[in-house]
Amino acid sequence: KMTVKAIKMPCTTPNVYTKVPDGGWGWTIAFAFFFVEALTYGIIKSFGVFFNDLMESFDETNSRISWIISICVFVQTFTAPLSTVLSNRFGHRFVVMAGGVLISTGMVTASFARTVVDMYVTIGVISGLGYCLSFLPTVTILSQYFDKRRSLVTAVASTGECFAVFSFAPAITALKEQIGWRYSLLSVGVLQLSIVICGSLLRPIIIKEQEEVKAQPPEEPTETKYMLENEQTRTSIESIDSGVEITTSPSNVPGNTKAEPKSEEPKEHVQILVETNSTPPEPKTKLLDFSVMRDYSFICYAFFGLFATLGFFAPSLYIIPLSLSLGIGKDHSAYILSAMAIAEVFGRISAGWVLNKKPIRKIYIELICVVLLSVALFAFPFASEFWGLMTCSIFFGFMLGTVAGTHIPLLAEDDVVGIAKMSSAAGVYVFIQSLAGLAGPPLAGVLVDTTQNYSSAFYSCAAGMVLGAVFLSLVRPCKAGLCHRQQQCAEESAAEVVSDLPDDFIEMDIGKAENSGKGCDGV
């Protein structure tokens, strides 16, 4: 049964569990992640309301203004490994709080900018770095608090981004009419300072697994319980197999182990709780584990993220220009974007609910969602009027929610890298995504300028999503092949150990290993 140590610890100390709690303080982490999503990605996706004001104030073109968000997204994803290193070194709480300060500083400073280059530095670089330091550690520690409910909780908490897009855009627009775009941007920066409060709630978690070991029956002869003191015969098959030497000798009983060497009932088995990380010296935590790059399944998953990112941001940037080119009014175009945001909420929740079902191969569900998302992108160019575009937007928003809310948490699944390596894997994964995040919107813009048709932007996004689906379909076969090779290596190693045993090995120890649980013959 799961036990929790030191329940009354202050909030600044870690939670120590014997297994993943699937709740507890994790609900507070999910609450914090909801607002972090709203104040990071929600603001990024709502930043388009400032585009016209910035073009008029700085007398710049649309493409130069759009580089503000492109640089921000690039810095946010490119610095993901730095976020992982800092989180492993200083803890998730400190890194997220520092990120909140950077985001607020960048936004507040940008409200006093005089050129678009100032915006590149303040929002693009400073706030972009803050977005990375705030988002990635929060989603990582949330995944550590949940196991069976991980997909559902993460999906629901990630809807903060969708609610932000739905509410912030009209709110900021109304605020601009009252106080102007500069003071509105200043207000947004002050609001984002609340990320510091969210970061203070990220209480660390430590999982200390315990294993139960049955002691030898106490009525057995003493010489069968103790290892021979001779240095040449101290290592036995029993110690090689289990890795834990269990005796009643005072020199061999660990400090955290409680054993009863004598008992009046001869058949009673003594249960010994051994903390797996208390006996051996605790290994030093790697700041960034690049061993995931040797995992073929992770490499395929990283390429999936690289190409799929091409279809994440461009549609939300070009849906309004596409609707205007079709003769749809500005008000109706805004409704289309809002409908997309609402549909994304239902997509995230639905994906989390489906992936929470057991047993289910989550990687295959993700693949189906990516294929359907590709279909949605291909459908946009065929829409010719308001309701057709509205239908495509709702379908795209729903499928985008199923993928966007689950593709990072799926790193914690055994089909990819597993929860133990998720922190490093997430940093490398998001870093690889940065290339597509920087190149995606400008590439779509070049195609639009060349063809004079907004449909080409959606075709490029769909092509990237199809390539992503191809690499995603290879993740499971690569993982299955790797596990099979590891099992063969383990069997070969075990055979070598048995064959390398010395000829004069103690007969008593061999009998002990072969007849575990039945006792040993005396010497």
What are the boundaries of each domain within the chain?
16-209, 289-498
What is the CA angle 439-446-386, rounded to 5? 100
Q: How confident is the model at residue 240 (pLDDT cuts 50, 70, 90)?
A: very low
Q: What are phi and psi of 207, to 5 degrees?
A: -105, 115
CATH of domain 16-209: 1.20.1250.20
Query: Strand pairing of 15-17 and 4-5?
Result: antiparallel
Three-state DSSP class for residue 234? coil
Place of tokens 């909801």: 34
Question: Would you say how long the chain is, in residues?
Answer: 523
Give the pLDDT of residue 348.
Answer: 83
| Residue 403 pLDDT greater than 60, yes or no | yes
Amino acid code (one letter) for 275? E
Q: Do domains 16-209 and 289-498 have the same CATH topology?
A: yes
Report whether the peptide linkage leading into residue 170 is cis, meaning its omega lies within 30 degrees of zero: no
Beta bridge pairs of residue 15:
205
**Average pLDDT, integer, range 185-190:** 93
Task: Please work out, in degrees rounded to the nearest 5, the angle formed at the alpha carbon of residue 413 by the alpha carbons of 411 and 417.
Answer: 60
Share of the chain above pLDDT 70, in %: 71
Supply the pTM of this predicted model.
0.62
H-type alpha helices, 231-385: 237-242, 296-308, 314-325, 330-355, 362-379
Mean pLDDT of the chain: 74
Q: Tell me the β-bridge partners of 214.
A: 271
pLDDT confidence band for 488 (50 / 70 / 90): low
Q: Which of 139-153, 281-295, 360-374, 457-471 has the lowest mean pLDDT?
A: 281-295
Convert the pLDDT of each residue in 78-109 to its tens digit.
888 888 888 888 888 899 999 999 999 999 99
- Other Cβ atoms closer than 10 A to 58: 17
Question: What's the confidence (pLDDT) of residue 185?
Answer: 92
Kindly state the average pLDDT of the residues 213-226: 49
Give the CATH architecture of domain 289-498: Up-down Bundle (1.20)
